[in-house]
Amino acid sequence: MRFLPRRRRLVAGLLLAPLLTGCFASEGGEESSGGGGGSRLRVAMAFPPAENFNPYGADATLLSRLGVTEGLTRLDANGAATPALAESWSRENDRGWLFTLRDAAFQDGTEVTPKAVAAALTRAAGAEPVTAALSGVELTAEAAGERRVRVTTADPDPALPLRLSSPGLVVLSAEAYAEKGAVSPVGTATGPFELTKVTGTTAATLDRFDDYWGGRAQFSGVDARFIADGTARTNALRTGGVDVAEAVPVSQVTSLDEVTRRETATTRTTSLLLNTEKGAFKDPKARAAAREAINTSALAKGVYEGHADPGVGIYGPALTWAADKRVKPTGRAGAAAVDGTSVTVATYDNRPELPEVAQVLKQQLENAGFTVKLEVREYSRLESDALAGKFDAFVSARNTMLDTGDPVSILASDYTCKGSYNLALLCDRSVDKAVAEAEKVTDTAERQDAAMTAEAAILGTDAVVPLVHQRIITGVGAAVSGVQLDPYERGLVGVGTRR
């Protein structure tokens, strides 16, 4: 019984070495292919593709941020629908819209025809589970002549052009749907960059699409890496491993130079939702007391280190129209005196700031006389309990523009009796009425007015206390410019992004 001779062990080691190299990840694309000019952009993305780049799920946003896919319309800075693949559109009748297509090509070389667009929209409408923008909407699309597509909905939908800007309603070529049960955006979309290679959930390689209708992109391609950990993402930028890092966490901001930080107000609002159905906050006066106890600017400054705006309403400053149209809430109850009422405040730790927000809230509420117990869990372990009303209050960060691009839809889903995501369990007749009114309005400006009226009605019930409006911080290497800083978080890399 002896040890293996040393030499034999060494040889075994050498033989193993090439085997082991297979266990390293492959680099996401080689440096600068050079052909056609321009260098490649390296991007660190925050969310890895969850469903293999299925365009009907959350990965749709990822594809749209990387400049791969686009739909018929897109949102401009004011939240209005502007042309993308559709040049123009008009409303035919209550239920029907007519979209005129522009001259564009798919990345596989085929032309964007009304037939292809109608087929793509029909596919999206029939997806299981249905894409978020079409939830509760029955949509049919058909070709209408040489350049036009007719889109009809079962119920009148004044916000259809906004809805069609959703990243989930992308237009892909017929090839994308060739395989049964899976939709592949690899080389079948219409954006300025073409997805060429996907390395699991760690990296993706994109090349420039030279025939893009909006002109040739400056970069010859994009190497995207998916780095879920915020500190790691920031480190990638600091070591020069990437040119652009998405969503730098607040705790890491000071480690970046001023010139590399780009701050954008987003439509994401962190708010405290109070349980209006049972528990201590069933009483509007207790809710009013909670609202008065909370100091939102302490949160914006103390927890978000100034990289957020104090809460003013459900819609934040990212929606440029909201501030001018804001209506003062009416019918608020007077605050009751609180003496040791105990409440449970729940939140989730998937966003690292939320537990900190909850702890500051705890102190503020306790100063006002409440006794507060915190409950912090991973989001999926918390949600069903929250929706069932097991907590008195819930701190949540919610994107107020959702996938529909329509400001009214969040009010309907979050604050009406039938809402599917009504964490405050609010069921108030005047709120329901105001939201229903807003849903009927077609004109963008009037729809926004109606949304603000509904917002005032909701704030009047004190079911929700807006805490802060978050800003997203994108780390951009000093040499890079033209990164899209989109408040709706749908764009990042575009034609004009350059070094």
Partner 1 sequence: MLKAVLRGGAPVLLWRAALVAALLCGVGLLPWLSRTDPALTVLRARSAERAPTPEVLDAIRTQLGLDAGPLKLLGDWFGGLLHGDAGRSWISGAEVTPSVLQALGVSLLLMGGSLAVAVLTAGAVCARTLRLGAGRRPDGRRSAGTGSALLSALPDFLTASVLAAVVGVQLGWLPALGWYGPQWMVLPALSLGLPAGALLGRMLDDLLPGAFAEQWALAAAARGVPGRSIARQALRRCVPGLLPNFGLFVVGLTGGAVAVEQVFDIPGLGRLTLQAAVAQDLPVLQAGTLALVLLAAIAGGAARLTARLLIGPALRDGALLSLHRPTPPRPTTLPLLYGGLLLAVVALGLARDPLRLDTTARLQSPSWAHPFGTDGLGRDVLARVGHGALSTLALALAVSATALVLGVLLGLLPRVSGPLVDTVNAVPPVLAALLVTGVAGSGPSTPALAVTAVAWAPLAAHTSALLQQERATTHLTATRALGAGPLQLLRHELLPAVLPPVVRHALLRLPGVALALAALGFLGLGAQPPSPEWGLLLSENQPYAERAPWAVLAPAAALALLGAVAVTGGGGVRWPRRVSCARRRDSGDTGETGDAEAYANTEAEATWAEPPDPAHPIRPEGVTSDA
Which of 220/252 has CB closer to partner 1? Answer: 252
**Distance between CA atoms of 400 and 413, rounded to whole angstroms?**
11
161 belongs to the binding site for partner 1 (CB under 8 A): no
By C-alpha distance, which of 251, 278, 284, 222 is closest to 430? 284
Binding track, positions 5-24, relative to partner 1; x by CB under 8 A: ---------------xxxxx
User: 494, 478, 458, 443: which is closest to 162 by C-alpha?
Assistant: 443
- Exposure b/e, 261-281, CB count within 10 A at least 16 = b: eeebbbbbbbbbbbbbeebbb
Return the number of the residue (93 or 384) whose C-beta is nearest partner 1: 384
Per CB under 8 A, the segment of 98-106, 188-196, 327-335, 354-362 that binds partner 1 is 354-362
Applying CB under 8 A, among 10, 12, 25, 445 the residue interacting with partner 1 is: 25
Q: Name which of 104, 143, 136, 100 is nearest 120 in CA terms.
A: 143
Looking at beta carbons only, is 65 or 287 nearer to partner 1?
65
Q: Which of 469, 472, 468, 466 is nearest to 492 (CA)?
A: 472
Is residue 244 near partner 1 by the rule CB under 8 A?
A: no
| Stretch 177-236 residues interacting with partner 1 (CB under 8 A) | 182, 200-202, 225, 227-232, 235-236
Q: Coil, strand, or helix at residue 315?
A: coil
The C-alpha atoms of residue 186 and residue 200 are separated, in whole angstroms, by 14
Question: Residues 50, 154, 323, 417: which binds partner 1 (CB under 8 A)?
Answer: 50
The region, left, alpha or beta by phi > 0 then psi within -120 to 50, assigned to residue 197 is beta
Applying CB under 8 A, among 33, 39, 122, 135 the residue interacting with partner 1 is 135
**Going residue by residue from 252 to 281, which x/- string records binding to partner 1, judged by CB under 8 A?**
x-xx--------------------------
Site string for partner 1, 314-353 (x = CB under 8 A): -----------------------------------xx-x-
Helix (H, G, I), strand (E, B) or coil at 354: helix
Please tell me the distance from the alpha carbon of residue 40 to that of residue 55, in angstroms, as a whole number.
Answer: 24
Q: What is the 3-state secondary structure (H, E, C) of 209-239?
A: CCCCCCCCCCCCEEEEEECCCHHHHHHHHHC
Query: Is 402 a binder of partner 1 (CB under 8 A)?
Result: yes
Q: Segment near partner 1 (CB under 8 A), from 95-103, 151-159, 204-212, 394-402?
A: 394-402
CA distance 54 to 130: 12
Q: How many residues does the chain have?
A: 499
**C-beta closer to partner 1: residue 177 or 421:** 421
Closer Cβ to partner 1, 32 or 201, answer by number: 201
State which of residues 91, 95, 377, 390 lies at the interface with partner 1 (CB under 8 A): 377
Smallest separation, CB 27 to partner 1 (Å): 6
- By CB under 8 A, name the one of 105, 130, 436, 480 that touches partner 1: 130
Q: Considering beta carbons, is residue 403 or 462 the nearer one to partner 1?
A: 403
Per CB under 8 A, does 472 bind partner 1? no
- Closest separation in Å from C-beta 217 to partner 1: 26
CB 100 within 8 A of CB 158: no
Chosen residue from 9, 10, 11, 27 binding partner 1 by CB under 8 A: 27
368 binds partner 1 (CB under 8 A): no
> Smallest gap, in angstroms, from Cβ of residue 275 to partner 1?
18
Residue 87 identity:
E
Contact between 132 and partner 1 (CB under 8 A)?
yes
- Binding residue for partner 1, selected from 102, 238, 326, 498, defined by CB under 8 A: 238
How near is the Cβ of 99 to partner 1 at its closest, in Å? 26
Rounded CA separation 218/200 (Å): 27
Q: For residue 147, which of 82, 195, 102 has the smallest C-alpha distance?
A: 102
